[in-house]
Structures are given as structure tokens and as C-alpha cells.
Amino acid sequence: MSGSERPSVEAVAAAMWAEDRASRGLGMELLEVGEGRATLAMRITESMVNGHGIAHGGFIFALADSAFAFACNWTGERTVAAHCQITYLRPARLGQRLIAEAVETFREGRNGITDVRVRTEEGETIAMFRGHSRTIGGSILSEEKSP
């Protein structure tokens, strides 16, 4: 796809968001998108707190993974996770609103790397996530949903 044929980042994000029942179901908010970047937020609810009284790491991972998805799909070409890792640095607590800021730091051919910082609204870093992406073919804006 040439640059002149590339859909707008906003159109791609809107199409993805419309189909992303997982992120919406967890109460995530899509705050901002751009070329190779995305910012999402999510409030930690009672159903997200584990037996230690802190946010379950899986929900923090899900927020980071969703931001990663929007950042690495900005071109409109269907792109998925090939490998992801997360490092938890501080606990998140009930009621906190977490913000995940994703930036694609590498893209070449079908491969990409995106770094995501998950923080509180006050700026305290909760976790750092790195996602490795792979473009699988097809367009997010096409009628056909399977690759």
C-alpha cells in the first residue's frame, strides 16, 4: 500500500475499536492514536483486584496489549502479536485509572517492536511492556475479516 493509498490512522483506529469487544468490555478508553502510537486508559474495578488487594497483572497486561495493538496497526495492514513481555514495577490499586502509552520503536518488513509504558494518572510507572508484532496480510478496513 503506498502512502497516498494509506487510510487515516483515525479511520483504522475507529474500525478496530468498533470490533474490539474485549477492550471495551474491560472499560478501556481509546484516548489518542497517531502514526505508530496509541494511548488507552482503564480504571481498576473491584472485579480486577486479586487476593492481595491489588490489580491482577492480567488486566494490566490486557491494557498494555490493547495499546500495543492500536500502535502497531496504524497503517491499516492487519498486524498481530508474535511475542510480548511485561515487567511489573509497582502495584496498581482499586479505583486507579491506568494509562498505557504505546510507541512503535521499530518496523521493517512484516516485523515490528512496540514499547508500552503503563502509568497512573499521576505519572507513576506501573509496568513496562514490549510487544513484537507481525503483519499477516489483509486490511483492517476491508470487508473480509479473516486473513
**pLDDT tens digit sequence for 100-123:** 999 999 999 999 999 999 999 999
Please give the Cα distance from 31 to 99 (Å, whole number): 9
Residue 54, in any domain of the structure: yes
Q: pLDDT (tens digit, 9 = 90+) per residue, 42-78? A: 999 999 999 999 999 999 999 999 999 999 999 999 9
As for how many domains the chain has, the answer is: 1
Residue 95, in any domain of the structure: yes
Please give the Cα distance from 83 to 79 (Å, whole number): 12
* pLDDT-above-70 percentage for the chain: 94
Residue 4, in any domain of the structure: no
Write the single-letter amino acid at 122. E
Residue 144, in any domain of the structure: no
The 8-class DSSP code of residue 143 comes to: S
Query: What's the whole-number average pLDDT of the chain?
Result: 94
144 has a pLDDT exceeding 80: no
Residue 146, in any domain of the structure: no
Residue 147, in any domain of the structure: no
Q: Say whether 54 sits in a helix, a strand or coil.
A: coil
Q: Could you list the residue range(s) of the whole structural domain that residue 59 is in? A: 9-139
99 has a pLDDT exceeding 50: yes
Residue 78, in any domain of the structure: yes
147 has a pLDDT exceeding 80: no
CATH of the domain at 85: 3.10.129.10
Residue 1, in any domain of the structure: no
Please give the Cα distance from 63 to 125 (Å, whole number): 14
3 has a pLDDT exceeding 50: no
